[in-house]
Amino acid sequence: MLTIRRLSLSDARMLIAGARERAHEIGVPMCIAVTDESGQLIAFERMDGGKVTSTIIAQDKAFTAAGAKRTTESYWEASQPGKPAFGINSAIGGRLMVVAGGIPVVVDGDVVGAIGVSSGTPAQDSDCAQSGIDHFLASLRGPEAS
Amino acid sequence: MLTIRRLSLSDARMLIAGARERAHEIGVPMCIAVTDESGQLIAFERMDGGKVTSTIIAQDKAFTAAGAKRTTESYWEASQPGKPAFGINSAIGGRLMVVAGGIPVVVDGDVVGAIGVSSGTPAQDSDCAQSGIDHFLASLRGPEAS
Amino acid sequence: MLTIRRLSLSDARMLIAGARERAHEIGVPMCIAVTDESGQLIAFERMDGGKVTSTIIAQDKAFTAAGAKRTTESYWEASQPGKPAFGINSAIGGRLMVVAGGIPVVVDGDVVGAIGVSSGTPAQDSDCAQSGIDHFLASLRGPEAS
Amino acid sequence: MLTIRRLSLSDARMLIAGARERAHEIGVPMCIAVTDESGQLIAFERMDGGKVTSTIIAQDKAFTAAGAKRTTESYWEASQPGKPAFGINSAIGGRLMVVAGGIPVVVDGDVVGAIGVSSGTPAQDSDCAQSGIDHFLASLRGPEAS
């Protein structure tokens, strides 16, 4: 039997809060998804004005980052023409996202879930996703709790 | 009427055993799928720590290699920008995999099934898939049995 | 953060072995799938002669039993005409199975995975799935090992 | 290694010819699909006036009959409310057909493929499918050869 560590709902809310705060700062309404380590959705928020297409894309970014234990941005690099993972973007019915904005949440070396953000540029999406993770990891260390 | 040769379940186990042994050697937990010559799943194993996304990708690599009677790596080459098969990676709902790691199993000139491996780099996946085939083909000749 | 218990690959093999033994006894070649508690495939075997359609159905029975933490048979009851869950069989793109043969694996009150069996009658499928679970649970208590 | 017998293309044409002839007799333009024993399409014809929806349904009827080694009509019976296979009609993304018109082709006890017919009433579809099989089996015995 294996023992797995996984984000709770309150953890997921913390991740979303961090991403949402950053989205407000840069003025881009985002879709923000948090999945567990198996890629299953825990929490999702579409900020008013977030894109409809991004409701799916944010989820798939988080699914990819959790399931493959790497950022979607790293796939972007690895799937360029001539690179080894070229063509992987259409895998799993197109759910495997290679556009930046999906980042695994790593605690003590274990992937415990992932966050996926979509509606801005890939750089903005990634920025907000990372802000969510920073906020969450800070909460694990600091006195604040959800 | 046609007569077709096809991997049995015990053949599939032999293929998986060979791939798994190589995966242990290189220290990468893999998802390993074996399909028959029609691309239908015969056996599958996700080693502890294998990627969730690879449960599908390993099966689709085997499906592609069996169905198209060629390695997924050969599609990688053929589907680069400007090459004739460019864009084929999204065919069949994204099941057609062009990333290395899917190899047909050929016995006496006939494709009798395929193996698909995923979770490492494409080169590692392909290495393990080939080890599975080598192990299986050796078992056909030698005295060793599973 | 949550802590989750999950079947390992060796656990999954034990479950398949128990189901396969029963399938041999009743003379029905089966497709047998084991998923983790999130419904993601760990291991699969199609016995020689198992049905092609059952390669998918066995996986979806295990997915349903793990994900919903109940037997697919219990959904059969609940989804009859006039019953509250009527029509749920087509949910999740048809992956939600209400035909008997999918059973969650429960250890110390936690669903740690599931087994799905298909190719016989629903009663035969369920019988073999339960035999897989019995074999696995006995192995947790006893000295026997895979 | 297993040895499998499978319909050839000329066999498939014979099956379609028999079904088409019957369709002409009853005055219903049909979609007629023939798959191999794994449910993969070998040949298909939509008679002028055949229904567009039936291009898919005929294929799925043949897929079901081949993959499950039974008539789709037998599933209709087994999947009525209160019957063991109730709810199976939506399995495999809805490809599992329980409406009459899909019949496996059995030669010397082996399922070697299947025929699926759609556009008429289920009884008409089944009638034409059976006529295809009768025509094919007669050709195996008689002086005419494929």
CB contact under 8 A, C80 and D85: no
Say whether pLDDT at B31 is over 90. Answer: yes
**CB-based touch A/D (3+ pairs, under 8 A):** no
- pLDDT, one tens digit per residue, over A40-80 is 999 999 999 999 999 999 999 999 999 999 999 999 999 99
What distances in angstroms separate CA A141 from CA A8, A10, A22, A135, A144, one per listed residue? Answer: 16, 15, 20, 10, 8
Please tell me the class of the B9-141 domain.
alpha beta
pLDDT value for A30? 98
Strand intervals (E) in chain C: 2-6, 31-36, 41-46, 102-107, 110-118
pLDDT value for C52? 98
Mean predicted confidence (pLDDT) in D81-89: 97
Q: How many residues does chain B have?
A: 146
B-chain residues within 8 Å CB-CB of A64? 53
Rounded to whole angstroms, the Cα distance separating D89 from D135 reads: 29
The mean of the pLDDT values for chain D is 96
Residues 6+ apart with CB under 8 A from C114: C34, C35, C37, C39, C61, C62, C63, C64, C65, C66, C102, C103, C104, C105
For chains B and D, CB pairs below 8 A equal 40
Rounded to whole angstroms, the Cα distance separating B33 from B46 reads: 9
Say whether pLDDT at A144 is over 60. Answer: no
Q: Is B17 on the interface with D (CB under 8 A)?
A: no
Mean predicted confidence (pLDDT) in B106-125: 98
Mean predicted confidence (pLDDT) in B60-82: 98
Superfamily of domain C9-136: Haem-degrading domain (3.30.450.150)
- pLDDT, one tens digit per residue, over B74-113 is 999 999 999 999 999 999 999 999 999 999 999 999 999 9
Q: Is D6 on the interface with B (CB under 8 A)?
A: yes
pLDDT value for D144? 52
pLDDT value for D142? 79
pLDDT value for B145? 47
Mean predicted confidence (pLDDT) in A11-40: 98
CA B121 to chain centre: 14
Neighbours of D22 (CB within 10 A): 21
CB contact under 8 A, D1 and B112: yes
Residue recorded with tokens 């003379």: C27
**Assigned token pair, C52:** 């092609």
Rounded to whole angstroms, the Cα distance separating A31 from A61 reads: 11
Decide which of 3.20.19.10, 1.10.1750.10, 3.30.450.150, 3.30.360.10 is the CATH code for A9-139.
Answer: 3.30.450.150
* Angle made by CA atoms A77, A78, A83, in degrees to the nearest 5: 115
Nearest-CA distance from D70 to chain B in Å? 18
The mean of the pLDDT values for chain A is 96
pLDDT value for A143? 65
pLDDT value for A142? 79
Say whether pLDDT at A112 is over 70. Answer: yes
- Domain map (residue ranges) of chain D: 9-137
Any idea which of A134-143, B137-146, C63-72 has the lowest mean pLDDT? Answer: B137-146
For chains A and B, CB pairs below 8 A equal 65
pLDDT value for A146? 45
Say whether pLDDT at B144 is over 70. Answer: no
Q: How many residues does chain C have?
A: 146
The answer to whether the beta carbons of residues A76 and A99 sit under 8 Å apart is: yes
Residue of chain D minimizing CA distance to B7: D1
Q: Is C2 on the interface with A (CB under 8 A)?
A: yes
Torsion of CA C132, C133, C139, C144, to 10 degrees: -20
The answer to whether the beta carbons of residues D90 and D96 sit under 8 Å apart is: yes
Q: Which of B28, B46, B52 to mutate to test the interface with A (most CBs of A within 10 A)?
A: B52
* 8-state DSSP, B109: T
pLDDT < 50: residue spans in chain C: 145-146
Radius of gyration for the alpha carbons in chain D, expressed in angstroms and rounded: 14
Rounded to whole angstroms, the Cα distance separating D101 from D54 reads: 11
Domain D9-137 has CATH 3.30.450.150: yes
Nearest-CA distance from B5 to chain C in Å? 13
Share of chain B above pLDDT 90, in %: 96
